Structure 1
């Protein structure tokens, strides 16, 4: 393609020219800190969640650290209009995540407020979720959870302001008796997934598990 010749795809870390379907080169890929957590066993993400709400299982693809390649990958997805990064991360996840006998009934992702969705042009979790749902043959629902308030990015808030936000999410339809996998990008304080988890738990006899792209180290 002429565009590929004029504007070749480059590694987001070292700027080497790489295949159009890749995000980083092989050398930089080796620098990514994958967690190697087991979904159905105890791990740091599950321990963090259990301090906030009763969680069934939990998994994180990699560690999120300041000034790291992982942080750069997440920012490419969220703020650099590289929606296809979600599919790449989903493919990396399927190579490392085995549900075994704990396969969820439904996948849901953290929603954006309609105003934020319009500003960004896409929800960074949708393609990630859809790719996983297709691979594992699990239904997904992008409309089950509603974000009730428009707010600035979590990364720009201080911890006190995050904790003060009340009822930021609601469940839009009746749901009960489901094993629900809640998907988010980065687990930092856990306030976001905790708020949604409690809404799902209180909606009916549901169980909630967590899948995040990265966990704050």
Structure 2
């Protein structure tokens, strides 16, 4: 309580004092460039994914533009030690998602290498995944896919090195006939999600869909 008084939570855009459970104030919500994807209807993310792997559906919550509010929010989640931002983003996603008759069987998030997990202290995708999964009563598994190699954050890598994803992931066990929803924070080149998707597809007669917090156009 005292910390809340001394260091109140502020809107990332206008710096107005807001509830500790929020990221931006109600006024600045209009500054976030939501994609308005509904999951089922094909969109430009579906097209981009389909160039890399067989995808059933793909959906992005926000556009990840340079100096945008969505970029600030995702960076706070990944690098600002604000794990609860994942729950805020999940709430926004739940308001906009419409799985219709295509509810996935299982949700998995792109894993961190154990060393990276120790450094950051949390996987920025876990709370987001768990919140969406609970809302739609979908199972999730944080242990099904593992990252085999430690790598620098994508945001800090030169673009010429972002395609080095061969053998980066593996699945812990064989499973089949599942519709798996892959969760990631930002879709840039798509190479990371593609690497995860192919491991899932190779594990059995599975199909994959994608949900990301933001897409970099």
TM-score range, shorter chain: over 0.9
The runs of at least 4 consecutive aligned structure 1 residues that moved more than 4 Å come to none
Give the drift of 1:41.
1.5
Q: Distance in 2 between matches of 1:166 and 1:36?
A: 32
How large is the RMSD of aligned CA atoms in angstroms? 0.9
The correspondence of residues 74-85 of structure 1 with structure 2, limited to 5 A, is 74-85=74-85
Give the drift of 1:81.
0.3
TM-score if structure 1 supplies the norm length? 0.98
Give the drift of 1:40.
1.1
Give the drift of 1:67.
0.7
TM-score if structure 2 supplies the norm length? 0.98
Residue 180 of structure 1 corresponds to which residue in structure 2?
Answer: 180
| Structure 2 counterpart SS, 1:95 | helix
Superposed CA deviations along residues 65-108 of structure 1, whole A, max 9, x for unmatched, are 01111100000000000000000000000000010000000000
Q: Is the 8 A contact 2:109 2:182 kept in 1?
A: yes
Q: Distance in 2 between matches of 1:22 and 1:113?
A: 29
Aligned residues: 217
Residue 193 of structure 1 corresponds to which residue in structure 2?
Answer: 193
Structure 1 spans left out of the alignment, 5+ residues: none
Residue 52 of structure 1 corresponds to which residue in structure 2?
Answer: 52
Q: Distance in 1 between matches of 2:5 and 2:159?
A: 46
Give the drift of 1:158.
2.2
| Structure 2 counterpart SS, 1:94 | helix
Residue 69 of structure 2 corresponds to which residue in structure 1?
Answer: 69
Q: Distance in 2 between matches of 1:166 and 1:180?
A: 21
Structure 2 spans left out of the alignment, 5+ residues: none
Greater shift in the superposed pair: 187-196 or 165-174: 165-174
Q: Distance in 1 between matches of 2:161 and 2:78?
A: 22
Give the drift of 1:157.
1.7
Greater shift in the superposed pair: 35-44 or 95-104: 35-44
